[in-house]
Structure 1
Amino acid sequence: MTGLLTQIRRHAAAKPEGIALDPVIAAPVTWADLAERVAAEVSAIRAGQGADLAVLCQDHGVEAAVRELACLEAGVPVLSLPRFFTAEQAEHARRACGASGAGADASRPASSRLPHETARVTFTSGSTGTPQGVCLSAAHLLEVAGAVVETVGADQAGRHCAVLPPGILLETVAGFFATMLAGGTYVCPPQERLGLANPFRPDFARLVEVIGEARITSLIVVPEYLAGIVGVLEQGGLSLPDLTLVAVGGARVAPELLARARRCGLPVRQGYGLTECGSVVALEAADEAVSGSVGRPMPGVRVSIAPDGEIMLEGRMFLGTIGRPREPGVLATGDIGRIDDAGRLWIEGRKSALIVTSFGRNISPEWIETLLTAQPAVLQAMVHGDGLPAPEALLVPASPDADLAAAVAAVNAALPDYARIARWKEVSPFTADNAMLTGNGRLRRNAIAATWLDGTPPFFEELEAATWRERLRFLTIPQVRAGLAGTISRRAYVDYLGEAYHHVKHTVPLMQAARARLLHRPELVAALDEYIEEETGHEEWILSDIAAAGGDADAVRGGDPHPATRAMVDHAYARTATGNAAAFFGMVYVLESVSVALAQRGASAVADRLGLPPEAFTYLTSHGALDQHHMAFFADLVNGFASDDDRQAVLDMAREMFGLFGGVFGSIELEDTAHAAA
């Protein structure tokens, strides 16, 4: 026994009706009920015989929490797979553990390559498609969780909300296990409920709303999440008075972001950790007067600094990796830092990412990146320049009108001459989907460099970068924001479907018109033929959805589109009929990329709010899934465009269509909030 179930039973005895788990979307689970559920699951696991590895890939919720606790108590190693892993990464992890072919949430025999006493195998997404599994013992995990409780104080146990993606070790140990030990309430809604269905494109407004409504008292976040929350609070003049702890880690945090967070009333405490150390090494004290450090080492860990500045750790450690026991001695972290006279640890960058300029100056790119991303105009930044006279930067704008030049100038004014940014380039966002971010939000520098620095970028990446501001402007349209959040009325949804019908019925005719003018381009004719086959009849799906949603499908069929919809369709015909007909693919890019977003984030949210049947969403959900395939097909197709004329035609059309499609959404009347559920 690990002792965690014993602690749960103590809480059950002391406060049987107290709330242990709150999934938000369903009834909460009391301590007494949790103790019974975990014990029953343990018995079921032990009765299974031979199932000695649990492969978990679940969203946050009661079922996942009970399963996690039961496996820990039963001594069954858990392979926890983050849901954002690629299929290749997930299969590699399963195969490495001897569970090849096992689906999510399955149990399979564990490989003998797992070190003795392994309780959890954690794979970070790493820098390749074949990440390495770190093996941790139950004693180690609970020791870290106990150290978190000791450092924070059991009296701080309140309502902790799981914000980080499922499968992230930091949330499991410092959030879930620590809350169970301390006797707080673990609030564990599905990620979509928090606006985090795609953890790398969060809906921060929704996240802040749920944090406030659920009376959350503590969170663990990465810097990007902290910046998003702060942005919503600043923009709306809002506050989250129930919060008593916001722990931030995973990457270096800009001092200005910490200052902004504290001005918003957020009780932010910076931390530092590694998977090999059970996720937490140090945590800033609540009353720390000096902001910017990650605090003092927690009980059980000793920290020293090597002559070259690398942070070295001793004390509680992982068992090893799959097939390789841990070698005794200190652990070299790869992070650069220092320890001040008060014993506080400061993180100053990554050893492997150090830039050495042609003037012989060593520069940590994270130093400059944190200053850049503290600028409101900059969403993401990667600094590079090894061997160059001065650093350079790749920048992602945070808003449609972001002034990146002014942001760089402001940062340069605060830097010494040798570290000032000499040149910069605007690029598209770094995400896990395009393999440029790790699971916890770290830059995958080699992948970013391969795309943006090593030769000419693929045209699809250039298209994404060149239209990113138009996409951001499109996302500011109130109707689009309401649709993605699900806060629209049934009437607005039916009106949206009506306008969708009036432009989708022209999709195949437009493709046929483009095909007729591109007969000299057999590769484009073949692509259009495939599109035509798949898109034929989609307007009938929409009419069926309208009827299922309570609308008048016949009236829509015989009616006229809004002038904004007519303008978009007319423009598409005109651009296809004159000039370079390859421009048509700029419209494909806009409509399909938007439908993917609506299907992934909007459809289920609208369905939950309005209580409509699945039959009312066949076009949106099916089309979204289809367009995910189409986007990969589209990227391969346009990356083959060698002509500057083709590329410019696609780019111009895409920019125009974002504006015109935004007008279609803007034409839909949003009813007053008081009538939104009507």
Structure 2
Amino acid sequence: MVGGTVREVYVPPLAPPVHSGSLGDIPFTNAIEAPAEIVLSRKQPSGNWHDLTAAEFAVQVRAVAKGLIAYGLHPGERVAIMARTTYEWTLIDFAAWAAGLVTVPIYPTSSARQVQWILDDSGARACVVENVDETRLISGLRTQLSGLDHLWQFNTGAVSQLVAAGRDVPDTAVDERRAATGPYDLATLIYTSGTTGRPKGCALTHANFFAEVDNAVELLHPVFKSVSEEPASTLLFLPLSHVFGRMVAVGCLRARVRLGHAPSIRTDDLLADLAGFRPTFLLAIPYVLEKVYNTGRATAEKMGRASSFDRAARIARSYGEAIEAKEHGTGAGPGVALKAARKFYDPLVYRRIRAALGGKVRHVLSGGSPLGHRLAAFYTGAGIEIFEGYGLTESTAAATITPPLRPRIGTVGWPLPGSAVRIADDGEILLYGGHIFSGYWDAALGAARPVTDQGWLATGDLGSLDADGYLTITGRKKEIIVTTGGKNVAPAPLEDRLRSHPLVGQCMVIGDNRPYITALITLEPDGLAHWRQMHKKQDLLPQQLVRDELLLADIQRAVDDANELVSRAESIRRFALLPADFSVETGHLTPSLKLRRAAVARDFSEDIAGLYESR
């Protein structure tokens, strides 16, 4: 503590460090210790889910690992995976590790230029893709990728092809590869999204994953180890190309939690998969939780019950805040009247929200961006405990996590057990622990180049620690806006609040070297469709919609609500409503849905200029 301000927090480990073995051992350890335990489920063409035991998964991992060996891949060589979130993705991942290889995820939405850079920079010798479009894309790059020797496609039998190739390879070949791989060997190269430049390969070791998942599993005991008779399970729908989804997949196999995969995040597809799988907990980004909430409210509005939903939401938030106060010893908890009101609205509203998530979900791990106090309190009051976290690819996902039974809504929790968080003099967040990566991949060296300072990683994010050690994210160091009046403004809080509105798709706050703050705002397709229906404006073209006075008034109310977070000097004075949403395809979002600010500023320069013209 410096001058009464907490500057550093350390949390002791809950799990011992791993001194031998690798992630490739996990399926085989599970098969020995609990061969009949269900560890995975695969969706069948019929829509039903087929369970796989630990013993069955280990057999498949070994068979595919033998195939990779048969194709001449040597320990330490890289295998790229370009596919949606599927069972085959996880199978190849663990098979590659069992064969002593290094996996390199590639988002299936990546451009040809990005794919070429990742394959070339990583020196990948093999690549597995999902479908014919990805095969064509990479085939067109083969002349520029001299090191890429093998290309397989999941939906034309890649797994069967590998299994067939490895039939004559002895089982001992896999055992020897596993025995030769240690915790400090490279496990994966995960390339950053590249919001400001070329993606960099984050070199994560097996030890990084063990430090992350072992401590997270022990901390989040109610999630991964299920304190009820219902076995813990989760449906993974976030990209396995992202470290967040990957960490949970590894954690589930490590903890022997039933894991399913959902390749599509289209609302109808995802809701159907959730209903069929019925998970007990979920890994989600705030966008998904916002979507469920907004869909619930839109449904209520269509039924003429919007005011009832809003009352229920207020009660849920009050209930969640009262629970939080009791757990911190600052309040008595929900009173009799609040309990009664919550009980009244449970079958009318809260049960419907839980049903949209499959019906059995009681815990959600939220990350990627701040969820926001109001939504976190609502879900707590609706019977779903939110564990919010913060982390980077460089920290193997979560660097901080909300501790069970000690939530502090609006923060991202305490440091991961066994790690520390420090706030630098300029407010930058620094991280330390076994989960911190070994450095960025250097193709010329064929190894990672360390970037930490005595083990501390400078994140580029800004934050503060409260007296109890909870971290609050306040912005991104490189994104701080400085107006011509000298006011420093962090755009993230304003953008996060605006994106939580059902009509808002994306938002970018502007104002660097300008006299005041403005924003570019896009419309959320589902929210807009509902608004059109409710206001009978289905016939308006996008260019007409962005000038519609009623719609502009609704967006202005959302802006006014966001402005309550900041001072007058930091508030959004004007905004431009754009007719098309930002997307990965247009180059305005990264594959992990972060804004490419430079690209947006370039492509919408005229709209931005118009915000600073005299009225």
TM bucket, shorter chain: 0.5 to 0.7
Shift of the alpha carbon at 1:275?
0.7
Q: Per the alignment, do residues 9 and 414 of structure 1 end up closer, same or farther by CA in structure 2, a change over 3 Å counting?
A: closer
Q: Which moved more, 1:149-158 or 1:90-99?
A: 149-158
Tell me the distance in 2 between the aligned counterparts of 1:352 and 1:82: 25
> Amino acid of the residue matched to residue 134 of structure 1?
C
User: Alignment RMSD, CA only?
Assistant: 2.8
- Which one of 53, 56, 77 corresponds to residue 102 of structure 2? 77
| Count of aligned residue pairs for this structure pair | 443
Tell me the distance in 2 between the aligned counterparts of 1:376 and 1:328: 40
Please, which runs of 5 or more residues in structure 2 have no aligned partner? 1-19, 136-146, 151-182, 300-348, 443-447, 532-550, 611-615
Q: In the alignment, what sits opposite 1:19? A: 38
Q: Per the alignment, do residues 70 and 409 of structure 1 end up closer, same or farther by CA in structure 2, a change over 3 Å counting?
A: same
Q: Which moved more, 1:435-444 or 1:320-329?
A: 320-329
| 1:119 paired to 2:174 | no
- Which one of 479, 499, 512 corresponds to residue 353 of structure 1? 479
Q: Which moved more, 1:272-281 or 1:396-405?
A: 396-405
Tell me the distance in 1 between the aligned counterparts of 2:464 and 2:113: 38
| 1:178 paired to 2:251 | yes
Q: Which moved more, 1:90-99 or 1:394-403?
A: 394-403
Residue correspondence of structure 1 range 51-66 to structure 2 within 5 A: 51=74, 52-66=77-91
Q: Cα deviations across residues 349-404 of structure 1 (Å, max 9, x unaligned)?
A: 10111111222221100121122223333232111111223211111233334411
Q: In the alignment, what sits opposite 1:376? A: 502
Q: Per the alignment, do residues 407 and 239 of structure 1 end up closer, same or farther by CA in structure 2, a change over 3 Å counting?
A: closer
Q: In the alignment, what sits opposite 2:289? A: 226
Q: Per the alignment, do residues 397 and 278 of structure 1 end up closer, same or farther by CA in structure 2, a change over 3 Å counting?
A: same
Residue correspondence of structure 1 range 417-496 to structure 2 within 5 A: 417-427=568-578, 428-452=580-604, 454-455=605-606
CA contact (8 A) 2:438 2:450 kept: yes
Tell me the distance in 2 between the aligned counterparts of 1:59 and 1:386: 37
SS of 1:422's partner is strand
Percent identical pairs in the alignment equals 26
Q: Per the alignment, do residues 63 and 414 of structure 1 end up closer, same or farther by CA in structure 2, a change over 3 Å counting?
A: closer
> Amino acid of the residue matched to residue 19 of structure 1?
I
Tell me the distance in 2 between the aligned counterparts of 1:261 and 1:315: 31
Q: Larger radius of gyration, structure 1 or 2? A: 1
Tell me the distance in 2 between the aligned counterparts of 1:354 and 1:206: 38
Q: In the alignment, what sits opposite 2:154? A: none
Tell me the distance in 2 between the aligned counterparts of 1:431 and 1:273: 23
Tell me the distance in 1 between the aligned counterparts of 2:596 and 2:32: 48
Shift of the alpha carbon at 1:271?
0.6
> Amino acid of the residue matched to residue 325 of structure 1?
R
Q: In the alignment, what sits opposite 1:149? A: 217
Tell me the distance in 2 between the aligned counterparts of 1:256 and 1:71: 43
Residue correspondence of structure 1 range 156-167 to structure 2 within 5 A: 156=226, 158-167=232-241
> By percentage of residues, which structure has more strand?
2
CA contact (8 A) 1:123 1:134 kept: yes
CA contact (8 A) 1:121 1:136 kept: yes
CA contact (8 A) 1:89 1:125 kept: no
> Amino acid of the residue matched to residue 239 of structure 1?
I
Q: Cα deviations across residues 478-509 of structure 1 (Å, max 9, x unaligned)?
A: xxxxxxxxxxxxxxxxxxxxxxxxxxxxxxxx
Please, which runs of 5 or more residues in structure 1 have no aligned partner? 197-202, 463-678
CA contact (8 A) 1:205 1:232 kept: no
Shift of the alpha carbon at 1:71?
1.3
Q: In the alignment, what sits opposite 2:353? A: 239
| 1:215 paired to 2:334 | no
Tell me the distance in 2 between the aligned counterparts of 1:363 and 1:247: 29
Tell me the distance in 2 between the aligned counterparts of 1:62 and 1:373: 32
Tell me the distance in 1 between the aligned counterparts of 2:210 and 2:515: 49
CA contact (8 A) 1:55 1:81 kept: yes
Q: In the alignment, what sits opposite 1:563? A: none
SS of 2:129's partner is coil
Tell me the distance in 1 between the aligned counterparts of 2:240 and 2:40: 15
Q: In the alignment, what sits opposite 2:439? A: 320
Tell me the distance in 1 between the aligned counterparts of 2:407 and 2:205: 36
Q: In the alignment, what sits opposite 1:565? A: none
Q: In the alignment, what sits opposite 1:611? A: none
Q: Per the alignment, do residues 90 and 211 of structure 1 end up closer, same or farther by CA in structure 2, a change over 3 Å counting?
A: same
SS of 2:412's partner is coil
SS of 1:395's partner is strand
| 1:41 paired to 2:160 | no
Shift of the alpha carbon at 1:6?
4.5
Tell me the distance in 1 between the aligned counterparts of 2:243 and 2:103: 12
TM-score, length of structure 2 as denominator length: 0.67
Q: In the alignment, what sits opposite 1:331? A: 457
Q: Per the alignment, do residues 444 and 263 of structure 1 end up closer, same or farther by CA in structure 2, a change over 3 Å counting?
A: farther
TM-score, length of structure 1 as denominator length: 0.61
| 1:391 paired to 2:517 | yes
Shift of the alpha carbon at 1:411?
2.8
Tell me the distance in 2 between the aligned counterparts of 1:421 and 1:181: 46
Residue correspondence of structure 1 range 544-555 to structure 2 within 5 A: none
Q: Which moved more, 1:411-420 or 1:69-78?
A: 411-420
Tell me the distance in 2 between the aligned counterparts of 1:60 and 1:272: 22
Tell me the distance in 2 between the aligned counterparts of 1:225 and 1:131: 26
> Amino acid of the residue matched to residue 327 of structure 1?
V
| 1:187 paired to 2:260 | yes
- Which one of 365, 368, 377 corresponds to residue 250 of structure 1? 368
Tell me the distance in 1 between the aligned counterparts of 2:184 and 2:21: 15
Tell me the distance in 2 between the aligned counterparts of 1:373 and 1:56: 31
